[in-house]
Amino acid sequence: MFNKKNILNFTFEELEKEIISDNEPKYRAEQIFSKIHRDNVNSFSEITNIPVLLRKKINELYHIPELRIIKITDSGHSITKKFLFEIVDENSKSDNFIETVLISEDDRNTICISTQIGCNAGCEFCATGKMGFRKNLEAGEIISQVYQVKKLTGIMPTNIVFMGMGEPFLNYDNLLKSLKILTHYRGSGIPSKRITVSTVGFKGKIRKFADDLTSDENKSIRRIKLALSLHSTDNGFRESIMPVSGKYKLSEIYKEISYFYQKTKNKITYEYIYFEGLNDTDDDVKRLGKVTRMVPSNLNVIPFHPIDFELKRPLDIYNSKKDINKLLSNKKLFDFIARLKNIKTVVNLRSSSGIDINAACGQLALKSNKNNLH
C-alpha cells in the first residue's frame, strides 16, 4: 500500500491532471474529488458513480490514508474535545502523533488543527515549542484532521483555525495546498472567511500569503483571515519569549500586516497572551492602541495557560503561579482589558476552553500519547 500515492494530497487541479494523463475524461476528477472530500469515503470501492475498471485502476495507484484515533479527551468545564491521532505512513516512527481540538460554542464548532509535529520556533510559553521540531504534516494529514473529527463526532466544523501544533508558515506549501483543498466547491467547500491562519510572523511570508490569497487562480481562499501572535509590542521582550522573532523587527512585521490588509481587505487578529507585570504597562497599552489602529483589526487577550515544562526567564515567575483559577480570574487582567477599551481598542478576552485537558492555546504537546494516557 505504501508505494501508492496519497490521494488526499492532491488539489482538485492536480487530480484533474493526473486523471487526464491517465487518458480518462476530465469530469472523472470531479466525481472522485467530491466523493473523497465531500462524502469522505474510506475506500475507492465506495465511489460507485465511476466505472468499475477506473475504480480498480485508481486503487492500484493511490490510497486514502486515515489518521488513526488513539484517544478522545473531553473537557469537564466546556464542550471541548481533544483528539490524539497517529499518522500511519511508510516513514512511520514510534512517535508520529498529532493533537486536534474541537470547541463547540452555541452554533459554532471550531476545529483547531495542527500543521507540524512539534515546532522549532521555540516560544517559551508554548508546550509544542518545548517538544522541538519532528515533522511537517503533508496537506492530506492536515485536512484529515477535519474529516476524522467529522466522522468521529458527526459534527462538521463551521470554523477552522490553524492554531494547533506547529507554525503554519514554516510548512507553507502544505498549508496552502490544504487551504485550497478544504475550500474547493467540489469538495467540502468550507467558506474561506471561516478559516484563520495564525503565525508568529516571518518577513516575506505574510506578504507572500497576501499575494497567494489574491491571485486569480486562488479565488476559493480569498477571504482567509490572518492572526498574528504578537504577545508584546516591545522587540526586546518579544524576542525573550519568542526567540524566532529576533530575526525580524516588529516594524518589518507591521509593514507586512499593512500590505496584507491593503491587498486582501481581510481584518487582522492580534493574539496577546497576558503576562502580569511583563506586558501590561501603560506604555504597552498605548503601543497596542496604535498597532491595532494601523489597519482594521481586533485584539484577542489570552490568559497565560500553564504548561508542564520549566519556564526560563522572564517567564520563570509562572513556574510557581500554576493556579489556573487565579490566572483566569486575575483582576489585573480585567483592568488591562478595561484600559485598552478606554482608548477604543477592539479587544476580546479569548476563551480558555479545554484548559483542564491541556487543550487550550499553547498547551498541545502530546501529553496524552498512547503510552501516557490520562
* Residue in 112, 119, 123, 361 annotated catalytic: 361
Q: Which residue's CB atom is positioned nearest to ligand SF4?
A: 129
Nearest approach in angstroms of CB 49 to ligand SF4 is 41
Give the span between the Cα atoms of 265 and 285, in whole angstroms.
25
* Residue in 99, 124, 167, 256 annotated catalytic: 99
Whichever of 8 and 111 has its CB closer to ligand SF4, that residue is 111
- Among residues 267, 243, 208, 256, which one has the least CA distance to residue 315? 243
Q: Among this protein's residues, is 141 annotated catalytic?
A: no
Q: Which of 149, 200, 327, 355 binds ligand SF4 (CB under 6 A)?
A: 200
**Do you know the residue count of the chain?**
374
How big is the chain by its Cα radius of gyration, in Å?
21
Nearest approach in angstroms of CB 126 to ligand SF4 is 3
**160: contact with ligand SF4 by CB under 6 A:** no
CB 279 within 8 A of CB 236: no
- Per-residue cell: 105: 460554542
Nearest approach in angstroms of CB 304 to ligand SF4 is 13
**166: contact with ligand SF4 by CB under 6 A:** yes
Residues 6+ apart with CB under 8 A from 300: 227, 269, 270, 271, 272, 347, 348, 349, 350
Q: How many residues bind ligand SF4 (CB under 6 A)?
A: 11
Q: What is the residue-wise DSSP string for 199-247?
A: E---TTHHHHHHHHHTSGGGGGGTT-EEEEE---S-HHHHHHH-GGGGG
Q: Among this protein's residues, is 66 annotated catalytic?
A: no
Residues numbered 213 to 272 that lie near ligand SF4 (CB under 6 A) are: 229
Residues numbered 110 to 129 that lie near ligand SF4 (CB under 6 A) are: 119, 121-123, 126, 128-129
Nearest approach in angstroms of CB 129 to ligand SF4 is 3
Q: Count of CB atoms within 10 A of residue 282's CB?
A: 8
Residues that bind ligand SF4 (CB under 6 A): 119, 121-123, 126, 128-129, 166-167, 200, 229
Could you give the residue numbers annotated as active site?
Answer: 99, 361
